Every structure is written in C-alpha cells, then in structure tokens.
Structure 1
Amino acid sequence: MFELQSHGDEEDDYSGFYLEVQGHIALDGHEDKGAVMRWKPTCLGYRRTDVSGMAGLWDESQIRKLATRLGYDFADMVVYDPKFGRPPLARLKAQATRLDAEAVIVPSPEHFEGGEIPGTLVQQLDVITVNPEETYARRAMPPLRDRPPAKADGA
C-alpha cells in the first residue's frame, strides 16, 4: 500500500490519497490468483482518537473481546486521528480490501461522521458496534422496488 499525504505545495484542505495494488506478484512476474481458505472470518477494528479520548485502549480491548466472542479472526486495528486531515474511511476500506475482511467492529456509531453508520461502508463490510451491540449487515440482495412488478398477459 502506498500513502501520500502532502509534499508541501497543496491547498490547506488537501487530504492525500491511498493507492493499493491487489494480488501478489511472484518473482517471475506472474500474478498469484490463488485464494486463501480461512477457518474463521476476518474482522478489523476501527476507532477515532477524538471520540475515544483517554478510553482508547479500553475501546480497543472491547473491540477485540467482541471479535473473539463472535468468532472472528481479528486482523488489525485502524485508528483515525482527524488532526492529520486524511479521509476518515479511506484507510479502513483499503485495509478491509487488502485483508479480505468480512466485518469491522467499532466502539459506537459516534466513531463515524455525524454518529451514523456510513452506507458505503455497509456495502463493503458488516459493521458491528460494541455499545449498543448491533450489526449492520451487508445486503445479500438488491433493494426491493417501490412498485410491484408488472403482471404478464394482463393477469
């Protein structure tokens, strides 16, 4: 993964970007497309330093405890600090893709902008909150249409 924050001549609100290469390249230059079979689904933890404050280590321990109880293989803790000005979910999404994670566990919804679980994140991962303990699951099927389907042959 390659991360670029700033090289000095950008605007003050420049937040950088992340670039990630998928797959593994062998020494002979061919891509390894072999899948890895896991015996437990992988999850990540996510917390914001400005929301956790002094309870950061407590939040992390609660995330790890819930991951173990739910049967996840805990892979990484992504800690977001707004003072660096990076996009809040960019690193989380990149890590989730890289580690092929199934879920992210957060201390509470307040660790997301506006205290709401981002829909774009739920499209990629199950989002689980410690307090209150809730799961925002990815949809297995597309949303239902607003109108009933048309009937064939006027029936």
Structure 2
Amino acid sequence: MSEQHSRLFEFPGGVLELQSAGDADEGYAGFHLQFYGCAEAEGRVNEGAIMHWKPACIGYLRTDVSGVAQLWDQSQIRRLAERLGYDFADMVIYDPKFGRPPLARLRAQATRLDAEAVVVPSPEHFEGGEIPAALVLQVDVIVVNPEETYARRSVSQLPQHR
C-alpha cells in the first residue's frame, strides 16, 4: 500500500491542497486540486465552502468614435465593469477600415468567453447610435455614459436592426 502525502498552501480566500502517492517522487507533476474555505473565527479549514463566481464581461469600442480618447474609454469601461462586480475578460476594439461586420467579432467573443455583459462607452459606438436588439438578446449591454443597462429581459423595448 502506498503512502499519501498532502501539502497545503494558504492564499486569500482558501487553501490549495496538493496530494500525491508515496511512490511518486517530490517532483511528480500530477496533483488533485480541492478548494476549502477558511473559517475565520476559529482559524481552521472547513470543507464545503462555496467558491464565489463573478460573471464575465467584455468591453467594446470603435476606434473611429473614440478617436484620441480611446485609452480613456478603455479605462472607463474597465472601471465600470469592476464597480459592477464583473470579471473583465476582454476588450473588443473595432476599426472600420478593416471592413468586417462590426458586431460579428463582438458576438463571437461574447459566446466564446461566456460573457454575461458587454460594456460600451456610449451608444454611438453602435451603428446609428442605437443598441442592437440582436446583441441584447445574447448579453446585457451596459453603457458608461450615460450609465444605462439594456438587460436581456427588456429586448422588446429596442428597435429591431439587422
């Protein structure tokens, strides 16, 4: 029967436990991850704690609309996403000189990253200055200025554009 070894590593919010069989050398790369929550009052480790999940969001802007304020718009998007509790996953920057459909990459990234929301500096970053209903069917759209949220459940209030 082989002997098992466990190594515990504490980090803010939990403990990482690496388990290995006694017949494996210390350099063995295989390991089993398991999350435990920390009982702050007693200073001990409890099993069964819940890991908190933050929904992902992505940012979107158009270079022709942002112009020289592009870096400012990007920072405003990130700041609002953080304030609203999102895990910022990506920034999709559309440059019209490439001629591709502006929403194609945005919707593909939202699907690939399983994003719950898209944060945009203003409605002007979409064609005609209007939030596309097709996008709102997929994700919530959050506008930085003026701060507004177009939730998926309110899509019937938006005009239908292709």
- Taking structure 1 as the reference length, the TM-score comes to 0.66
Q: 1:65 aligns with which of 57, 72, 79?
A: 79
- Classify the secondary structure of the residue corresponding to 1:71: coil
The correspondence for 1:121, drawn from 107, 113, 135, is 135
Change (3 A) 1:85 1:63: same
Query: Greater share of strand residues, 1 or 2?
Result: 2
Higher relative contact order (CA 8 A, sep 6+): 1
SS in 2 for 1:139: helix
Letter in structure 2 aligned against 1:127: V
Deviation of the 1:139 alpha carbon: 1.3
Alignment of 1:18-97 (within 5 A): 39-97=53-111
Distance 2:127 2:155 in 1: 26
- Matching residue of 1:33: none
2-structure distance, mates of 1:135, 1:141: 11
Check whether the contact 2:136–2:155 (CA below 8 A) recurs between aligned residues.
Answer: no
- SS of residue in 1 equivalent to 2:109: helix
Tell me the distance in 1 between the aligned counterparts of 2:73 and 2:91.
11
> Following the alignment from structure 2 to structure 1, what is the Cα–Cα distance between the partners of residues 52 and 111?
15
CA RMSD of aligned residues (A): 1.9
In terms of Rg, which structure is larger?
A: 2
Counterparts in 2 of 1:103 and 1:83: CA distance versus 1, 3 Å: same
Distance 1:118 1:140 in 2: 12
Classify the secondary structure of the residue corresponding to 1:75: strand
| One-letter amino acid of the counterpart of residue 102, structure 2 | P
Q: How does 1:138-153 map to 2 (within 5 A)?
A: 138-139=152-153
TM, length-normalised to structure 2: 0.63
Unaligned segments of structure 1, at least 5 residues: 1-36, 144-155
- Detail structure 1 runs of 4+ shifted over 6 Å in the superposition: 140-143
